[in-house]
Amino acid sequence: MAGTESEFHIKCDRSAGSQKVLILLGPPGAGKGTQSETLVKNLKVPHISTGDILRDHIRRETALGKQVKETLDRGGLVSDDLVLNMLAERVGAADCAIGFILDGFPRTLEQAELLDAFLAKRDVGEQRSLPLVIRLKVEAETLLRRLGGRQVCPACHVIYSAELRPPMVDGLCDMDESGLITREDDKKETILRRLKLYEEQIAPIIGHYSKSGSVMDVNGERPVEEISKELLSIVRNAWRIENAEYGLS
Ligand code: AMP
């Protein structure tokens, strides 16, 4: 049964002192974007992808976009300060008051530490906003196959995958019929560089969050719906969302 606004009650709001923060970790192609769509619908908190925000700046040719384009094209990392400022601005919006889902952040140990400090400053009273961290685990071989066939809608940003989510009409977005494009950073040499970078950087981040016991591993090799169910169940338990009467919508 699909959930409605009134069915959801997250036992926590800003006045109660803490925010619900879900960090979705996983290599490029693990399915973070796809799973986030289901989580957003069911949990009613926004999905914040630092990669999407950066690409939007590039598309709009803003000063920030011009500054970061070359870094994104070669699969490198944008500076911690720049990403944190951008993130701080986004999570300051009203729709993030109860909580939000982070995808693509933190990418470095420094970013994880900056995020801790940032969340601590926003806490009201004694309660701490400890993020819930979920890692989607997928083998490198599967990732290469998935990313090789990945296309994105330039208008609504929905991601299609030849393997997991093909568009109904080849090359066209199901939502708005825009022509699908292959992202510069989904080209093969760039994919390999991004996977290597991910492996190097994930270990200290996992180490950091493991200390607070908040990392959950989820097998991302299974069908999309199966993964969604497990993710929702983990988040529902961790966030103590009342009313078990909701399912995938
Ligand atoms: P994504 O869509 O998450 O794979 O991000 C695409 C690109 O945006 C990355 O390859 C980086 O160049 C940049 N990027 C996204 N998030 C971050 C971050 N947290 N720190 C630094 N660079 C980032």
CA distances to 36, 46, 121, 185, 187 from 128, rounded to whole Å, are 24, 20, 10, 36, 41
> So which residues are the catalytic ones?
32, 107, 150, 183, 194
pLDDT above 80: residue 61: yes
pLDDT above 50: residue 14: no
Q: From ligand 1's centre to the CA of 127, what distance in Å?
A: 30
pLDDT of residue 121: 82
pLDDT digits (tens, 9 = 90+) for 142-152: 998 888 888 99
**Could you tell me which residues are beta bridge partners of residue 76?**
none
Question: If you take atom 15 of ligand 1, which residue's CA is the nearest one?
Answer: 51
Name the band, by pLDDT with cuts 50, 70 and 90, for residue 247. very low
Name the band, by pLDDT with cuts 50, 70 and 90, for residue 11. very low
Question: If you take atom 14 of ligand 1, which residue's CA is the nearest one?
Answer: 51
Q: From ligand 1's centre to the CA of 166, what distance in Å?
A: 24
pLDDT of residue 210: 92
Residue 150 near ligand 1, beta carbon < 6 Å:
no
Q: Which mutation among 23, 67, 78 tests ligand 1's pocket best, with the greatest number of atoms within 8 A of CB?
A: 78
pLDDT digits (tens, 9 = 90+) for 156-198: 989 898 877 899 999 999 999 999 998 877 788 888 888 888 8
> What is the overall mean pLDDT for the chain?
85
Name the band, by pLDDT with cuts 50, 70 and 90, for residue 26. very high
Q: What does pTM read for this prediction?
A: 0.79
pLDDT of residue 112: 94
Question: If you take atom 2 of ligand 1, which residue's CA is the nearest one?
Answer: 51
Q: From ligand 1's centre to the CA of 79, what distance in Å?
A: 10
Residue 116 near ligand 1, beta carbon < 6 Å:
no
- The answer to whether the CB of 249 falls within 8 A of the CB of 42 is yes
pLDDT digits (tens, 9 = 90+) for 98-137: 899 999 999 999 999 999 988 888 766 666 668 999 999 9
Ligand 1 atom showing the smallest separation from residue 79 Cα: 21
Q: From ligand 1's centre to the CA of 163, what distance in Å?
A: 23
3-state helix/strand/coil string of the chain:
CCCCHHHCEECCCHHHCCCEEEEEECCCCCCHHHHHHHHHHHHCCCEEEHHHHHHHHHHCCCHHHHHHHHHHHCCCCCCHHHHHHHHHHHHCCHHHCCEEEEECCCCCHHHHHHHHHHHHHHCCCCCCCCCEEEEEECCHHHHHHHHHCEEECCCCCCEEECCCECCCCCCECCCCCCECECCHHHCHHHHHHHHHHHHHHHHHHHHHHHCCCCEEEEECCCCHHHHHHHHHHHHHHHHCEECCCCCCC
Mean pLDDT of 83-107: 93
pLDDT of residue 123: 66
pLDDT of residue 239: 86
pLDDT of residue 149: 85
Question: If you take atom 1 of ligand 1, which residue's CA is the nearest one?
Answer: 51
pLDDT above 60: residue 66: yes
